[in-house]
């Protein structure tokens, strides 16, 4: 029962985040939303009894991928001025 | 109008995909796949380690992992070729000067991050974790050094040498498997150690540590290149 | 109970997949297109892992006793997990390549708008 509740909550959060990314004009907010969705996905992997995949998603999908996307965006914004 | 059409097409696609996957799942019920059944059953006598996912990644499907590090390497070569680098001294102009909080936090947190990454790499065959996860943790922890304003020049030759040596040793271990047991990546150190100790599983921890070194250097190059581009 | 959980997993994955693809097609900003592809990649990973999920089983990290006594009956399927482990690492490599292409595109054209490509060709 607890698993279903957490999964439902994560699904609702993911959908909210997805709609927010779809509507927002600011790219940095969209990148942070992507990292958040990766974090929700890593909790979902833990519920699916896949701890290896959960660790990989948290370390690589959320942290490193988000850092690269935000770094390039900041670089482009700096050169735009 | 066009947007609404695209949304409708995709929602139709989503519903049909959903039904398709649910049909697959209902026919599967509660059975393992054939290969999963084989790997789980023969893992104890083949490699003698607790983590079955590690033995699949490094041994049963070792070719996949070799291809994976090749793809990682190629994509980073592609990144290197795309953008012209500036000198290292330019970084200090682009980053703003770090405050006291960032500097102090880096001094305290950086060794702990390194230690945690090394722990995850070394325990890859006993608990969840391994070379890719630990390498990503160490590689992104090194980004913290740049953010804290470390102005030291990186010795790029050393990192390149470490990277090439680690991959060469992985391939050498694979070739030694041909020499001893007539198969690429055969586990010729099988009888080493007892179940559940650090030194067990033969060549699996060695391969995972080398993959960890390789992935660390790759991600470190990537995050350094992000600042230098 | 088990069916509800599996449907929720599929729902999560497929919503992320289609939502990411919609963002990738509709948006005009190149970086937002890349973000859409990253989201779609996460959705595909969730679908793949959920095909190996079996209700009320253990993760595939087993001790000696469990591994010698019919481990296929107490553990979830480990093969999709190993494949997705590979897929995530490749995903970050392709994401970085995408992002640096966007940076290169900006430096050549002075914009990150997708539609500016057509004006340049005229």
Identify the burial level of B193 via C-beta atoms within 10 angstroms of its C-beta, where 0-12 means exposed, 13-18 middle and 19 or more buried: middle
Residue B168 lies in a domain: yes
**Containing domain of residue B153, as a range?**
49-228
Q: Give Cα separations from A31 to A17, A56, B58, B206 (angstroms).
A: 11, 19, 33, 36
CB pairs below 8 Å between A and C: how many?
128
Q: Give Cα separations from B93 to B37, B88, B227 (angstroms).
A: 57, 10, 11
Which residue would you say has higher pLDDT here, B93 or B107? B107
Contacts of B16 in chain C (CB under 8 A): none
For residues A27 and C29, is the Cβ–Cβ distance under 8 A?
yes
Instruction: Indicate the range of A54-63, B13-22, C8-17, C79-88 predicted with least confidence.
Output: B13-22
CB contact under 8 A, C101 and B82: yes
Residue B65 lies in a domain: yes
Query: Given a cut of 60, is residue C61 above it in pLDDT?
Result: yes
**Containing domain of residue A43, as a range?**
2-80
Residue C66 lies in a domain: no
Which tokens in the block code for residue B84? Answer: 């012209």
Query: Residue range B163-182: average pLDDT?
Result: 90
Residue C84 lies in a domain: yes
Here the CATH number for the domain that contains residue C84 is 1.10.287.3510
**Containing domain of residue C35, as a range?**
2-61+72-121
pLDDT in tens, A66-79: 988 998 888 888 88
Mean of the per-residue pLDDT values of chain B: 83
Residue B54 lies in a domain: yes
- Which residue of chain C is at minimal alpha-carbon distance from A48? C53
Task: Count how many domains chain B has.
Answer: 1
CB contact under 8 A, C85 and A8: no
Degrees (nearest 5) of the Cα angle A78, C23, A58? 75
The beta-carbon contacts of C75-78 under 8 Å, at least 24 apart in sequence, are: C75/B40, C75/B52, C76/A48, C76/A49, C76/A50, C76/C52, C77/B32, C77/B33, C77/B36, C77/C51, C77/C52, C77/C53, C78/B36, C78/B39, C78/B40, C78/B52, C78/B53, C78/B56, C78/C52
CB contact under 8 A, C61 and B32: no
Q: What is the ipTM of this complex?
A: 0.92
Contacts of C54 in chain B (CB under 8 A): 30, 32
Per-residue confidence (pLDDT) for residue B20, from 0 to 100: 76
For residues B177 and B188, is the Cβ–Cβ distance under 8 A?
yes
Task: Count how many domains chain C has.
Answer: 1
Per-residue confidence (pLDDT) for residue B95, from 0 to 100: 63
Calculate what percentage of chain C has a pLDDT beyond 90: 28
A63 to chain C, minimum CA–CA distance in Å?
10
Element (DSSP H or E) covering residue C104: helix C78-109
pLDDT in tens, B9-45: 878 787 887 777 777 666 656 677 888 888 988 888 8
Task: Count how many domains chain A has.
Answer: 1
């Amino acid at each position: 029962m607890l698993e279903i509740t957490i999964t439902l909550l994560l699904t609702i959060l993911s959908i909210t985040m997805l709609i927010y990314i779809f509507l927002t004009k600011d790219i940095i907010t969209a990148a942070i939303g992507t990292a958040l969705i990766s974090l929700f996905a890593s909790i979902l992997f833990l519920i699916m009894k896949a701890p290896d995949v959960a660790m990989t998603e948290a370390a690589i999908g959320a942290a490193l991928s988000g850092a690269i996307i935000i770094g390039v965006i900041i670089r482009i914004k700096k050169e735009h001025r | 109008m066009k947007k609404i059409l695209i949304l409708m097409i995709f929602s139709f696609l989503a519903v049909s995909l959903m039904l398709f996957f649910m049909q697959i799942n209902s026919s599967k019920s509660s059975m393992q796949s054939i290969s999963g059944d084989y790997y789980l059953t023969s893992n104890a006598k083949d490699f003698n380690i607790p983590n079955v996912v590690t033995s699949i990644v490094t041994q049963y499907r070792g070719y996949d992992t070799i291809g994976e590090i090749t793809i990682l390497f190629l994509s980073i070569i592609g990144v290197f070729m795309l953008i012209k680098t500036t000198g290292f001294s330019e970084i200090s102009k682009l980053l703003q000067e770090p405050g006291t909080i960032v500097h102090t936090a880096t001094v305290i947190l950086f060794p702990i991050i390194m230690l945690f990454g090394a722990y995850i790499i070394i325990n890859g065959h006993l608990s969840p974790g391994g070379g890719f996860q630990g390498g990503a943790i160490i590689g992104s922890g090194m980004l913290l050094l740049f953010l804290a304003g470390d102005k030291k020049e990186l010795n790029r030759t050393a990192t390149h040498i470490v990277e090439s040596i680690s991959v060469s040793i992985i391939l050498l271990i694979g070739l030694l498997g041909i020499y001893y047991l007539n198969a690429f990546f055969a586990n010729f150190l099988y009888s080493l150690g007892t179940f559940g100790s650090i030194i067990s599983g033969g060549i699996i921890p060695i391969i995972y540590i080398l993959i960890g070194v390789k992935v660390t250097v790759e991600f470190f190059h990537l995050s350094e290149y992000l600042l230098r581009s | 109970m088990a069916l509800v959980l599996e449907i929720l997993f599929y729902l999560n994955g497929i919503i992320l997949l289609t939502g990411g693809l919609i963002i990738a097609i509709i948006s005009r900003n190149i970086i937002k297109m890349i973000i859409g592809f990253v989201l779609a990649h996460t959705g595909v990973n969730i679908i793949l892992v959920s095909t190996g999920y079996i209700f009320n089983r253990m993760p595939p990290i087993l001790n000696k006793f469990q591994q010698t006594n019919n481990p296929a009956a107490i553990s979830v399927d480990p093969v999709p997990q190993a494949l997705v482990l590979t897929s995530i690492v490749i995903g970050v490599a392709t994401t970085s390549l995408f992002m640096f292409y966007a940076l290169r595109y900006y430096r050549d054209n002075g914009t990150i708008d997708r539609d500016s490509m057509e004006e340049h060709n005229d």
